[in-house]
Amino acid sequence: MLDLIIRGARLAGSADKLSDIAIKDGKIVDVSASVKAEAIDEYDAAGYLVSAPFVDSHFHMDSTLTRGRPRVNESGTLLEGIALWGELKPLLDAKDIKTRAHELCRWAIAKGNLAIRSHVDICDPELLAVDALLEVVEEVKPYLDLQLVAFPQDGFLRDPKAKEQLIRALDKGVHVVGGIPHFERSMADGSTSIDELCRLAADRGLRVDMHCDESDDPLSRHVEMLAQKTVEFGLHGRVAGSHLTSMHSMDNYYVSKLIPLMMEAELHVVANPLINITLQARHDTYPKRRGMTRVKELAEAGLNVAYGHDCVMDPWYSMGSHDMLEVASMGLHVGQMTGQAEMREAFRAVTSNGAKVLGLDGYGTEVGCHADLVILQARDEIEALRLRPTRLAVFRRGKKIATSPEQISTVFMGDKSFPVDFTI
């Protein structure tokens, strides 16, 4: 006897046909045109799109949902955001951090996002956010995978306490080594920080995810060093470069040398379209650069490119509802990736590509994967990107953990009424 059969599913990647998905003990045990076995429960997907969950590859859980505290970012700029975070940090306590993190996780689940990699600022000597979020990791584990990155926001070398505190955060159980080389005092210090942080990760068998070259400086070279150290320490496929916005402005000849090095290192690329498009190129008049990394070229070269939300209602970004389809939609618009294959790649950037960044086990919709699934009110990935539709149901290990009613508007014209669901 099966636990659950989801019938009439259009699976992401093969949405041209209907499939049944059989689930037992939290795992997918069969995917076929018609599952004949009996199950304790059945769910009718009614021909709607069924996907493995969305993955947010880059987030900041410690600052999320603080909008307005102690004041709003009036200018919307990065610099006012950093100043605001400095004002806010002393006001935070563990209870507040946990309450906001749990609220954001509920938003994520309702949107079908069941894996989040969050950076956590380790520059507070008490490591308040580290302790609070490590508790949240365990508390939300039945519902979503929350992975933490030890992030030295004030600089690994620039802040004299950061090195000791980052190591303490890793000792406590933070999963991934972070960094911010472009925020160190000099390019040389940035390189030293990359060397030390990659060495630390290699010694401990950990992954690396650095805020890297998050600037408009065409001569910023930290991603080159990150790739080189990845190769030197044998961390191939275990290192992510987040943001990489300076690549947007780099010389094309240099990039033609850089991308093969990134390929050799099997570097993951995490772009954050919502934030990159708003915070970058603020010094430009016109023409105004877009500031997002070269997603199209990096993906075409064969690198794994994923998208992150980065911020939701915090000092840097007043907007957002943690909808990864909004992120992917912005990404494909900014990157001019409106080709059919490119749009399907944008969907993967917030699903399976993100799972590779996080190194998730058992992710997907094949037999043997965890029964973590999202049913969307759309017929394929491109329609999902266009509509950012209702998540009708969200399953975790075969158990329903979120539902939303189908959205159909009714328009009244004269004595007639018309249903509208924005499809043709």
Binding mask 179-208 for Fe ion (x = CB under 5 A): ------------------------------
Pick 310 or 381: Cβ nearer Fe ion: 310
Distances (CA, A) of 281 to 212, 216, 305, 421: 16, 6, 22, 38
Whole-angstrom Cα distance, residue 324 to residue 340? Answer: 19
| Footprint (CB under 5 A) of Fe ion, residues 283-342 | 310
Catalytic residue among 184, 214, 224, 266: 214
| Footprint (CB under 5 A) of Fe ion, residues 224-283 | none
Pick 224 or 310: Cβ nearer Fe ion: 310
How is 220-248 classified by DSSP, letter by letter?
A: --HHHHHHHHHHHTT-TTSEEEEE-GGGG
Q: How many residues bind Fe ion (CB under 5 A)?
A: 1
Task: State in angstroms the smallest separation of the CB of 285 from Fe ion.
Answer: 26
Whole-angstrom Cα distance, residue 123 to residue 419? Answer: 54
Task: State in angstroms the smallest separation of the CB of 79 from Fe ion.
Answer: 15
Told to judge if 214 belongs to the known catalytic residues of this protein, a careful annotator would answer: yes
Of the candidates 261, 332, 358, the one whose C-alpha atom is nearest the C-alpha of residue 303 is: 261
Task: State in angstroms the smallest separation of the CB of 73 from Fe ion.
Answer: 15
Beta strands 416-420; 409-413: pairing state = antiparallel
Q: Are 48 and 376 in contact (CB under 8 A)?
A: yes
Residue nearest to Fe ion (CB): 310
Distances (CA, A) of 309 to 44, 77, 249: 31, 17, 22
Of the candidates 251, 254, 249, 347, the one whose C-alpha atom is nearest the C-alpha of residue 292 is: 249
Q: Which residues are catalytic?
A: 214
Which residues contact Fe ion (rule: CB under 5 A)? 310
